[in-house]
């Protein structure tokens, strides 16, 4: 297992990008739960953000692709608006142990 981050690295309602084991990841903390996805848009195969850690829409309700504005539900990564409806972000298996998140290969 590889360390992704410590849980206190994200405040409630926040998203951040991390590089772990050679993979670009996106971690969201919402309603005291963590969600981890590959930082890659299913439509174009590119990173979701233009600026560091800018993953959420203005109201912080959805993950947003900065390239074409696609919106993805935080809870399951499904695209609900934009050019790839029904497609999903790739979830990553992780373990929350003590105050850390670990990537499960």
Q: Residue written as tokens 């934009």? A: 82
Residue 43 has pLDDT above 90, yes or no: no
What pLDDT, in 10s, does the model give residues 57-102?
999 999 999 998 999 999 999 999 999 899 999 999 999 999 999 9
DSSP 78: B
Q: DSSP readout, 10-38?
A: S-TTEEEEEEETTEEEEEEEETTEEEEEE
Structure token digits, residue 32: 């005291």
Report the DSSP beta bridge partners of residue 100: 6, 97
């Amino acid at each position: 297992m590889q360390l992704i981050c410590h849980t206190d690295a994200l405040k409630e309602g926040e998203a951040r990008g991390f590089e772990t084991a050679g993979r670009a990841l996106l971690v969201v903390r919402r309603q005291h739960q963590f969600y981890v996805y590959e930082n890659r848009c299913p439509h174009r195969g590119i990173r979701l953000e233009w600026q560091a850690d800018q993953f959420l829409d203005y109201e912080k309700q959805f993950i947003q692709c900065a390239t074409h504005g696609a919106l993805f539900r935080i809870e399951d990564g499904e695209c609900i608006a934009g050019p790839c409806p029904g497609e999903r972000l790739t979830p990553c298996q992780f373990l929350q142990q003590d105050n850390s998140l670990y990537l499960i290969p």
